[in-house]
Structure 1
Amino acid sequence: MLRSSRLSSIRSNNVVRQTRSFSGHSRLRRVLFNVPGSDIRKITKATQLDVDSVVLDLEDGVAANQKENARKLVSQTLLDHHVSFGRSERLVRINSFGSGLEDGDLQSLKEAFTEGAIDGVVIPKAKKVQLLAAIESAKAIIDLKDICKAKTNRLAGLIFASEDYVADVGMTRTEDASELYYARSHLVNHAVAFRMQSIDMVCLNFKDVQIIAKETTEGRLMGFTGKQCIHPNQIVPIIEAFVPSEREIDFARKITEANDRHQAEGRGAFEVDGKMVDRPLYLWAERIMQRYNASVNQSN
Structure 2
Amino acid sequence: MIRSLLYIPASSERFIEKAHTRGADAIVLDLEDAVVPAEKTPARQRLEISVPQVGQGGATVYVRVNSEEDRLFDDAEAAARAGAGGLLVPKTGSAEMLAAIARRLEPIEHQMGRQPLDFVPLVEDAAALLDARSIARFERVSAMALGSEDLATSMGALPTPDVLRMPKLLLHYAAKAEGRRSYGMLRSVADYRDTEGLKAAAAEAKAFGFDGSTCIHPSVVPVLNEVFAPSADEIAWAEKVIAANAEAERSGTGAFLLDGKFIDVPIVERARRTLAQRR
TM-score, reference length from structure 2? 0.85
Q: Find the aligned partners of 2:40 and 2:20 in 1 and give their Cα distance.
A: 21
- Within 2, Cα distance between the matches of 1:215 and 1:157? 19
Structure 1 partner of 2:66: 95
Say whether the 8 Å CA contact 1:35–1:46 is kept in structure 2: yes
- Equivalent residues of 2:148, 2:159 under 8 A apart: no
Tell me the residue number matched to 2:193. Answer: 207
Contact 1:136–1:160 (CA under 8 A) maintained in structure 2: yes
Partner of 1:120: 86
**Does 2:171 correspond to 1:187?**
yes
**What pairs up with 1:19-30 in 2 under 5 angstroms?**
28-30=1-3
Name the SS of the counterpart of 2:5 in structure 1. strand
Q: Is the 8 A contact 1:31 1:51 kept in 2?
A: yes
The one-character-per-residue Cα deviations of 1:237-259 (angstroms, maximum 9, x if unpaired) are: 11011122333222222111111
Aligned to 1:146: 134
1:166 to 152, 160, 181: 152
CA apart distance, 1:149:
2.5
For the 8 Å contact 1:50–1:87, the answer to whether it is kept is no
Q: Secondary structure at the match of 1:29?
A: coil
Equivalenced residue count is 255
Corresponding residue to 1:270 among 252, 256, 269: 256
Gaps of 5+ in 1: 1-27
Per the TM alignment, residue 106 of structure 1 is displaced from its structure 2 partner at its CA by 3.0
TM-score (normalizing by structure 1): 0.79
2-structure distance, mates of 1:99, 1:198? 26
Runs of 4+, deviation exceeding 6 Å: none
CA–CA separation in structure 1 for the residues paired with 2:37 and 2:189 = 25
Amino acid at match of 2:47: V
Q: 2:224 and 2:256 mapped to 1: Cα distance?
A: 35
Of 225-234 and 277-286, deviating more is 277-286
Mapped partners of 1:149, 1:118: distance in 2 = 22
Counting only pairs closer than 5 Å after superposition, residues 1-300 of structure 1 correspond to structure 2 as 28-78=1-51, 85-96=56-67, 98-109=68-79, 111-112=81-82, 117-126=83-92, 127-128=94-95, 129=98, 131-150=119-138, 153-174=139-160, 177-201=161-185, 203-291=189-277, 293=278, 296=279
Residues 1:267 and 1:79: Cα distance change in structure 2 (over 3 Å): closer
1:59 Cα deviation after fit: 0.9
Q: Deviations over 1:105-159 (max 9, x none)?
A: 23434532xxxx3212221122223611112111121101211223xx2111101
Quote the Cα distance in structure 1 between the aligned partners of 2:268 and 2:79. Answer: 45
Amino acid in the other structure paired with 1:205? D
Quote the Cα distance in structure 2 between the aligned partners of 1:290 and 1:192.
Answer: 18
Greater relative contact order, per chain length (Cα 8 Å cut-off, separation 6+): 1
Tell me the alpha carbon deviations over residues 196-223 of structure 1, each in whole angstroms, 9 at most, x when there is no partner: 1111055122223212211111111111
Letter aligned with residue 168 of structure 1: S
Which secondary structure does the structure 2 equivalent of 1:133 belong to? Answer: strand
Gaps of at least 5 residues in structure 2 are 99-117
User: Displacement of 1:36 after TM fit?
Assistant: 0.9
Structure-2 residue corresponding to 1:25: none
